[in-house]
């Protein structure tokens, strides 16, 4: 059997394959942050297409925590029902479903709110200078992650992913390029990871212990003075026992810089994290070929493969990958005639 189509048990969540749909903003909500028909069709289509784990887009734990005014939110109970409808529909087709809980920090473009960050440094001259967070602000955001996790459970999600990548708020605390604090949340690695550590503890107080927690990180800041995969591994070592079951390894987005990208450009970072932290990882980055995905898994470079843009282009990539790898998987009954 192709490893790409082997099952994997993560706490009480059994995934039918190793294919993960990466969180990608749809910019299809409105200022209420609620799921719309677009979200329902978009995510359910990927479940029909055979994806094992669908991770919904960055979903704000506060209104000011959204990336834009048109992103999803989970900062109020009224937002639960629309997401629950998506989860229930996707599960009919055998997919497991998670939601990425996020706070955009200094990169938020929400027009009616002020930006916050660990330090008052703008992402670029096109962004507003954020307000440096007080200790009270930090505790408020940690509580917002906790409350969003509770709502995610009520919506029926199988897992949650904490967005600690791409230069958003948790990532901002992790990176020495942005975090210039001199208190217990800044400076050395132990202090920079404290915000994530406390969020994990808050989330675990309400998230069912039998459901896994994923953390997405940027393992490379693309700056000599920033984080690199080995440094990120050291920080993750400090918090892995606080409730991390799976690490989604990405890179970049922390500062405004040009990245050299190519198929699989982030896989080497995933290998480091997997080896040094000893936690299962999701790897990806412009992966389009089933054969390439299979090589990464067979050579124990990662445990899962995330696809982003390729699943935007082709919701049925999983079905085509099975054919290419000669795996006889079940197709949706209405589509069997085309198998």
What does the pLDDT look like over 137-169, one tens digit per residue? 999 999 999 999 999 999 999 999 999 999 999
218 DSSP β-pair partners = 250
- Taken in order of first residue, the domains within the chain and their CATH numbers are 45-338 (3.20.20.70)
What does the pLDDT look like over 49-84, one tens digit per residue? 999 999 999 999 999 999 999 999 999 999 999 999
List C-alpha distances in Å: 41 to 17, 45, 91: 22, 6, 14
Q: How many CB atoms lie within 10 A of CB 308?
A: 17
Length of the chain: 339
Phi, psi of 124 (to 5 degrees): -160, 180
What does the pLDDT look like over 127-142, one tens digit per residue? 999 999 999 999 999 9
pLDDT band at 111 (very low <50, low <70, confident <90, very high): confident
> Which pLDDT belongs to residue 113?
86
* Pairing mode of beta strands 53-60, 131-132: unpaired
pLDDT > 70 in the chain, percent: 100
Residue 108 has pLDDT above 90, yes or no: yes
On whether the pTM is more than 0.95, the answer is yes
pLDDT band at 244 (very low <50, low <70, confident <90, very high): very high
> Which pLDDT belongs to residue 324?
96
């Amino acid at each position: 059997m192709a490893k790409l189509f082997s099952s994997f048990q993560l706490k009480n969540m059994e995934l039918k394959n190793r294919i993960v749909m990466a969180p990608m903003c749809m910019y299809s909500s409105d200022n209420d942050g609620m799921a719309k028909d677009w979200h329902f069709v978009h995510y359910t289509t990927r479940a029909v297409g055979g994806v094992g784990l669908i991770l919904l887009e960055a979903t704000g734990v506060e209104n000011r925590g959204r990336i834009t005014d048109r992103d999803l939110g989970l900062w109020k109970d009224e937002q639960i029902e629309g997401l629950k409808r998506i989860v229930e529909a996707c599960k009919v087709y055998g997919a497991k479903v998670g939601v990425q809980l996020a706070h955009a920090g200094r990169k938020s473009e929400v027009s009616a709110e002020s930006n916050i960050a660990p330090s008052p440094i703008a992402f670029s001259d096109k962004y507003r200078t954020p307000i440096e967070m007080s200790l009270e602000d930090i505790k408020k955001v940690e509580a917002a992650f906790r409350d969003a996790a509770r709502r995610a459970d009520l919506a029926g999600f199988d897992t949650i992913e904490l967005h600690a990548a791409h230069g958003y708020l948790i990532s901002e605390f992790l990176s020495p390029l942005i975090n210039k604090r001199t208190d217990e949340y800044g400076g050395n690695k132990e202090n920079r990871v404290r915000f994530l550590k406390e969020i994990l503890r808050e989330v675990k107080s309400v998230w069912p212990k039998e459901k896994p927690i994923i953390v997405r990180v940027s393992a490379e800041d693309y700056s000599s003075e920033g984080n690199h995969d080995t440094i990120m591994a050291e920080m993750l070592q400090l918090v892995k026992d606080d409730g991390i079951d799976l690490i989604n390894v990405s890179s970049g987005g922390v500062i405004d810089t040009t990245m050299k990208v190519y198929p699989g450009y982030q896989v080497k970072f995933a290998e480091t994290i997997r080896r040094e932290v000893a936690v299962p990882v999701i790897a990806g980055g412009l992966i389009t070929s089933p054969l390439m995905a299979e090589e990464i898994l067979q050579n124990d470079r990662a445990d899962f493969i995330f696809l982003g843009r390729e699943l935007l282009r082709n919701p049925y990539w999983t079905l085509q990958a099975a054919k290419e790898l000669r795996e006889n998987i079940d197709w949706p009954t209405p589509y069997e005639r085309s198998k």
